[in-house]
A and B are shown apart, each in its own frame.
Chain A
């Protein structure tokens, strides 16, 4: 079946804005009416087959944007086309072309076996039986659902349920896959398995992938392109390398010292590209951010050791929150 709709962008958003009215008590009876802009003048387009991370702090407007792309919410102003369709007016037609996974809410029937949920969804999407069987078998195989396909969903672990959710969202082979925090709460193995699947799904079928996440690994493993939003506005649109070049990718060396020591200001002053982030436990634990381009972890550690003996250490990878925070800072927040 031909599911493509022209060759235009899969998502085309222009001047998108969404306002909410917030009413707060002001005095005994009066209520104050305040208009909050959750999404403010956002413009971007997603080409067919792109993999895009939609990143921002909590409350930055990510979910609101996704709701407008998928037809759950009407924009206050601006234009949205998803798969060439008007999301709210053509919601039911659009539903055949998009698959949405919400990490925090389920579209499976909790008291039914996963297999039954998939069958019902195939029927709701009116998939021809042969096609539905073939696709179900493919998803069961690639997401490794076979072992728990006949268990009621309420008995599944979070990781198993998430894989079931993904199968449910992709059963009708959508052009655009939207994932809202798909890996939140999953263990490392489950996260990895999900990422591998999504990469394969993208490579094999050229599907467009749009995901919101707080997980830097998700971004690095899955997204060619990043859209960063801050307080409703789009503040970055480009690849990860560009983002890192703009704000610098800092890693953090955490050292546990053998004896309490004063803040290691002298060390960071001597080592280029390093800053002291914090001192904990009365100087026993200190956190130093460093830029790998300027100094190696080994050299920094050596510099610390010269001042105070180190008992233990760990290195934290840059997390998306940190990168976004520094991007916000660099844009003058």
Chain B
């Protein structure tokens, strides 16, 4: 089948069409972007208000806290644009869209993700990016080649971790069809927990948001590694270097759960 175009061309066509159709309704697209910008700015204001009254929170000063905020928001916004559509898995099931996708010669998850890329959710990414750059400008980071690599890979690792959370939450909905509220609190809750220092959390919760739901690996731990900070008990700063590895593991786990979910949907077991 050497004459067949690659599957990549298919997804280029699909994603391209989604992007075009979103840009076709300019006013509505503009409103969506602006509203996600406002939301992200409100969260940023929350950090600013906190540090107006405190010099240090959870072992981080304002500049470090903004670094965490920027990394977390950039990573989450990227994941949300690509995988946020998994929020609506019950709709896919109820309307039979899932059956239609199962009848095409491409993997289901890739079709779901490529079929609903949401550019509007990138509004949050721009706030994250600007905050990140501003925080870096204000920091005295002891730059080494390894730290540059860590800085560049962290938003990507974070995006993979959050995307894995979306996939896991979507997969769970094959069993619990009306559980969108629960799974949303899981994905958005993790995103929120990742946007500030894990050291403010009680120890058990801190461990949950690091080793069960790896939210701490998306921003807090990489920030510790970038700044060379020691970290709270049970969460040494060097763990930040493991973020890419944790992202890969999280993605593999999410894929496993997704496969089980599909098997359950098709009645093959589970």
Contact = CB atoms under 8 A, between A and B. Distances in A.
B12 to A, nearest CB: 8
Interface of A: 18, 67, 70-74, 76, 88, 91-93, 95-96, 98, 100, 102, 104-107, 109, 111-112, 116, 119-121, 123-129
Contact of A120 (B13, B24, B96): B13
The residue among B4, B97, B100, B103 with the most chain A CB atoms within 10 A of its own CB is: B103
B4 A72 contact: no
A72 B266 contact: yes
B103 A95 contact: yes
Given A88-B266, A128-B4, 20 more contacts: A71-B266, A73-B267, A76-B267, A88-B268, A92-B104, A95-B105, A96-B105, A102-B99, A107-B100, A107-B103, A111-B21, A120-B14, A123-B5, A123-B9, A123-B13, A124-B14, A125-B105, A126-B6, A126-B7, A127-B4
Nearest to A128: B3
A180 to B, nearest CB: 10
A253 B174 CA distance: 51
B103 A112 contact: no
B105 A70 contact: no
Nearest to B16: A120
Interface of B: 1, 3-7, 9-10, 12-14, 17, 21, 24, 95-97, 99-100, 102-107, 111, 266-269
28 contacts: A18-B267, A70-B102, A73-B267, A74-B268, A76-B267, A88-B266, A88-B268, A92-B104, A95-B103, A102-B96, A105-B95, A105-B99, A111-B24, A112-B21, A120-B13, A120-B17, A121-B104, A123-B14, A124-B10, A124-B13, A124-B104, A125-B104, A126-B4, A126-B5, A127-B4, A127-B5, A128-B5, A129-B5
A71 B97 CA distance: 15
A102 B24 CA distance: 29
B175 to A, nearest CB: 13
Contacts of A18: 267
B220 to A, nearest CB: 40
Given A88-B266, A92-B106, A93-B105, A105 B100 contact: yes
A106 B115 CA distance: 14
A95 B106 CA distance: 9
Contacts of A116: 17
Contacts of B266: 71-74, 88
A74 B269 CA distance: 9
Contacts of A129: 5
Nearest to B7: A126
A98 to B, nearest CB: 7
Contacts of B7: 126
B17 A112 contact: yes
